[in-house]
Amino acid sequence: MSQPPKEVIKFEVNGRTVEVAVRPYDVLLDVLRNELDLIGTKRGCDQGSCGCCAIHMDGRPVLSCLTLAKWAAGKKITTIEGLANPEPHPLQTAFETCGATQCGFCTPGFIMSAKALLDRNAEPDEATIKEHISGNVCRCTGYLQIVEAVQKASEELLEKDRPHDASVVERNRQTHPAGR
């Protein structure tokens, strides 16, 4: 049986516009890892059950193993590689200092999930954080230090009140119309 033909799609990934040829059944995870060398996004299960492949599509968290690549056409994708800018995001440093990363394989997925939460809820309580990350599997940490890291990052972001990336700049501009 011969393989169906490829189709060229265009999308933005971490601020850069890319064009890739994909087959109809290709999932975004494969395209990110194999075509674009964005290996920070991990493959843990291929069935949306571990969260290791979480990325953002137009600012919303999605599991790239369950997302057909062609759905990315025209969209803005952010992967773990797009978070450090160039200094690491407070979530990234908090994961380090709280001991929220051990083997690290689940870490990119957790950070992308947590970032999606903090982007729309700057001060989530513990229960909200736990609920939000319950689709991500970590077998090393027992989760508590991950929750702690998300809390710490949230505090840091609020405290510094400094825009970190474009979406936060935009949000802050809306919240503080006078600008800063």
Partner 1 sequence: MTPPSWNVIGKPIPQVGSRQKVTGEALYTDDLRIPGTLVGKILRSPHASARIVRLDVSAALALPGVHAIVTGKDAPRPFGVLPISKDEPSMGIDRVRYVGEPVAGIAADDEWIAMEAMKLIHVEYLPTKPIDDAKQALAEVANAADKIHPGTKFGNNLHKMVEQHFGDLPKAFSESFHVAKGHFEYAGISHTFTEPMSAVAHFDRDGRLHIWSATQVPHYLHRAMSEVLGLPMSRIRVIRPNVGGGFGGKSDPFPHEMIASLLTMRCRRPVRITFDREEVFISHHGRHPSEIDVAVGCDKNGRLTGLDIDALIDGGAYGSFGVVTSYYNGVLAQGPYRIDNFKYRGRRAYTNKPMSGAMRGHGAVNTRYALELLFDECAEKVGIDPAEMRIQNALPAYTTTINDFRITSNGVVECIEKVRDASGWKDKRGKLPFGHGIGLACSFYISGSALPIHRTRTPQSTVHIKIDMDGGVTVHSMAAEIGQGSDTVLAQCVAEILGLDVSWIRVKTEDSDLAPIDLGSYSSRVTFMMGNAAIKAAENIREQLRKAACRMAGGEPTDWVFRDAKVINTVDPSKSMTYMEALDEALADNGALIASGWYQSPKLGGAYKGAGAGLSPTYSFGAYITELHVDTETGFVHLDKIWAAHDCGRALNPLAVKSQIIGCVHMGLGQVLMEQWDFNHRSKGNIRNPSLLDYPMLTAKEMPPVDVFIVESDDKEGPFGAKEAGEGPLLPILPSVGNAIYDAIGVRMRELPITPASILRALEAKKKGKS
**Binding residues vs partner 1 (CB under 8 A):** 1, 3, 33, 37-47, 49-50, 52, 79-81, 83-84, 88, 91-93, 95-99, 101-108, 111, 129-131, 133-147
Sort 97 into a burial class: Cβ within 10 Å, 0-12 / 13-18 / 19+: exposed
Q: Nearest Cα to 124, choosing from 160, 143, 151, 145?
A: 151
Which residue, 9 or 100, has its beta carbon nearer to partner 1? Answer: 100
Which residue, 49 or 175, has its beta carbon nearer to partner 1? Answer: 49
Between CA 116 and CA 98 the distance in angstroms is 20
Q: How far is the CB of 165 from partner 1 (least distance, A)?
A: 14
Which residue, 85 or 175, has its beta carbon nearer to partner 1? Answer: 85
Which residue, 12 or 81, has its beta carbon nearer to partner 1? Answer: 81
Which residues, in sequence order, are CB contacts of 84 under 8 Å at separation 6+? 92
Which residue, 81 or 165, has its beta carbon nearer to partner 1? Answer: 81
Separation in Å, CA 149 to CA 69, 92, 101, 103, 126: 31, 9, 10, 16, 11
Q: How far is the CB of 41 from partner 1 (least distance, A)?
A: 7
Tokens of 90: 């407070």
Q: How far is the CB of 108 from partner 1 (least distance, A)?
A: 5
Q: How far is the CB of 112 from partner 1 (least distance, A)?
A: 10
Outline where the chain has alpha helix (H): 28-30, 90-97, 107-120, 126-132, 144-160, 166-175
Q: How far is the CB of 179 from partner 1 (least distance, A)?
A: 30
